[in-house]
């Protein structure tokens, strides 16, 4: 499987804007256009396109969890696979790649994610990578964490 992660730049950001998700999924994640726009206000946000060869198939965003005063933790904020490419293992491969990329950043020792209640298929998805539920926050989001050294 030829899945790669590419930095979002002025040359490929439109690839991300064209990604589609179902109307139901819009209740659980931000559109890539919204996530990319928000990231321009925070220098520490990292945006990656998920590509199958040269074809854009998804988007992922992560950043150091500074807002929660957890400087040794990376928070994966968005993971989107285009509706036409879902169910093919691309999200699994992209998650594996981003976890490896984050672990290579020596200043961190954990990765957190969250999913919104109702989008419960994400819990077993992330459990496959070793994430464990730690809490449910005030926004009906379930927080999961992966500790590593």
Please report, for the chain, the start and end positions of each structural domain, with discontinuous segments joined by +.
3-147
Q: From residue 99, how far is each of 30, 82, 121 by CA, in Å?
A: 21, 20, 19
For residue 27, is pLDDT > 80? no
Do 75 and 98 touch, CB atoms closer than 8 A?
no
Do 21 and 13 touch, CB atoms closer than 8 A?
no
Class of domain 3-147: alpha beta
Q: Write out 99-144 in H/E/C secondary structure.
A: HHHHHCCCCCCEEEEEEECCCCCHHHHHHCCCCEEEEECCCCEEEE
Across the strands, what pairs with 79?
A: 60
Query: Each residue of 76-132: pLDDT tens digit?
Result: 999 999 999 999 999 999 999 999 999 999 899 999 998 877 767 888 999 999 999
For residue 137, is pLDDT > 70? no
Predicted confidence band at 139 (pLDDT cuts at 50, 70, 90)? low
Q: Rounded distance, CA 134 to CA 131, Å?
A: 9
Query: Which of 103, 123, 102, 98 has the alpha carbon at shortest distance from 3?
Result: 98
Predicted confidence band at 31 (pLDDT cuts at 50, 70, 90)? confident
Query: Each residue of 33-81: pLDDT tens digit?
Result: 899 999 999 989 999 999 999 999 999 999 999 888 999 999 999 999 9
Q: What is the DSSP letter of 15?
A: H
């Amino acid at each position: 499987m030829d899945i790669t992660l590419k930095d979002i730049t002025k040359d490929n950001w439109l690839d991300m804007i064209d990604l589609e998700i179902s109307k139901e999924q819009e209740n659980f994640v931000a559109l890539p256009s919204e996530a990319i726009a928000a990231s321009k206000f925070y220098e520490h946000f990292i945006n990656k396109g998920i590509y199958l060869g040269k074809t854009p198939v998804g988007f992922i965003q992560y950043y150091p969890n500074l807002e929660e005063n957890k400087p040794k933790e990376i928070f994966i904020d968005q993971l989107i696979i285009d509706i036409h490419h879902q169910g093919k293992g691309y999200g699994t491969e992209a998650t594996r790649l981003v976890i490896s990329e984050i672990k290579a950043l020596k200043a961190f020792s954990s990765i957190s994610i969250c999913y919104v209640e109702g989008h419960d298929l994400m819990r077993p998805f992330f459990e496959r990578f070793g994430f464990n539920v730690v809490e449910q926050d005030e926004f009906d989001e379930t927080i999961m964490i992966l500790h590593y050294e």
